């Protein structure tokens, strides 16, 4: 089964402007890996985030991670050929709880995301992470046989008299992928990806990018293990372990 990796976020080094922000939740938070610290607007209609990229990127994957938008919200991505004057393309994102994903093919330097959510009970719009970038899709699929392990690193301690104390931590899951018969072209692309993210940086993956709704198959993750095994000739086997970013 084919998979999509989006490992470079062009918004992270973009020059950003915005409509409004709460002083404790600035807009620049959406450029940080830790999406639990969000941008928060002071209004709920005609809010926007604008990204002037350092160069004109090829964009085929857009994601909004960790938001408070209701299913009545309107989220639109606008692409401009100049500094937000000449609109080239405008596409609405489909709402989904927690994360929203758009697969697209566009190359513009100036990109704006607008938000309107007039019935939001919070009275503000909150966005944890914005992601825009190009992705790779290895031609070789991954094995469907894999192990998914729920992880709970909460600490539970019991005193001598039987009282229990708990430090509760966010649960997450880990899993693995195996790619059999990787050719030199795919290996080079995947090596470039690992060179950039290693084990310390996060990325998006989508197991089924050709689905009408790719959201259920999309995860924000990091690698915890990466191992090549030479099979024969130019062919390789890749074994990776993945950790869900929560």
- β-partners of residue 91 are 77
* Boundary-marking domain end, from 91, 110, 133: 133
Contact 134, 59 (CB under 8 A): yes
- Whether 21 and 129 share a structural domain: yes
Distance between CA 240 and CA 145 in Å, rounded? 13
Domain that holds residue 160: 148-244
* Boundary-marking domain end, from 133, 162, 196: 133
* pLDDT tens, residue by residue, 184-222: 999 999 999 999 999 999 999 999 999 989 999 999 999
**CATH number of the structural domain spanning residue 84:** 2.60.120.260
Of 223, 227, 211, residue with least CA distance to 7: 223
Q: Is residue 1 part of a domain?
A: no
- Whether 35 and 129 share a structural domain: yes
- Whether 117 and 31 share a structural domain: yes
Q: CA angle 30-35-36, nearest 5°? A: 125
Count: domains in the chain = 2
Contact 76, 116 (CB under 8 A): no
- Whether 125 and 15 share a structural domain: yes
- Whether 15 and 101 share a structural domain: yes
Who's near 207: CB < 8 A, 6+ residues apart? 1, 3, 217, 218
Contact 28, 122 (CB under 8 A): no
Predicted confidence band of residue 1 (pLDDT cuts 50, 70, 90)? low
- Whether 172 and 100 share a structural domain: no
Model confidence, pTM = 0.91
Q: Is residue 33 part of a domain?
A: yes
- Whether 155 and 128 share a structural domain: no
Of 192, 187, 200, 175, residue with least CA distance to 229: 187
* pLDDT tens, residue by residue, 121-172: 999 999 999 999 999 999 988 987 878 888 887 777 777 776 777 777 788 8
């Amino acid at each position: 089964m084919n998979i999509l990796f989006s490992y470079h976020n062009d918004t992270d080094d973009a020059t950003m402007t915005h409509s409004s922000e709460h002083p404790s939740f600035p807009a620049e938070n959406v450029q940080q890996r830790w999406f639990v610290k969000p941008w928060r607007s002071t209004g709920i209609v005609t809010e926007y985030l604008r990204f002037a990229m350092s160069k004109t990127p090829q964009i085929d994957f857009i994601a909004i991670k960790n938001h408070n938008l209701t299913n009545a919200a309107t989220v639109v991505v606008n692409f401009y050929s100049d500094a937000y004057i000449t609109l080239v393309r405008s596409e609405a994102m489909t709402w989904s709880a927690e994360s929203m994903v758009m697969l697209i093919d566009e190359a513009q330097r100036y990109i704006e995301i607008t938000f309107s959510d007039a019935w939001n009970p919070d009275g503000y719009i909150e966005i944890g992470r914005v992601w825009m970038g190009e992705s790779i899709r290895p031609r070789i699929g991954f094995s469907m046989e894999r192990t998914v392990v729920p992880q709970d690193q909460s600490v539970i301690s019991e005193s001598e008299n039987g009282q229990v104390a708990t430090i509760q931590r966010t649960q997450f899951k880990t899993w693995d992928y195996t790619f059999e018969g990787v050719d030199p072209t795919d290996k080079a692309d995947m090596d470039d990806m690992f060179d950039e993210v290693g084990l310390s940086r996060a990325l998006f993956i989508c197991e089924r990018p050709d689905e009408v709704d790719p959201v259920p198959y999309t995860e924000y993750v990091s690698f915890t293990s990466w191992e090549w095994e030479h099979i024969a000739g130019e062919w390789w086997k890749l074994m990776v372990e993945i950790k869900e970013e929560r």
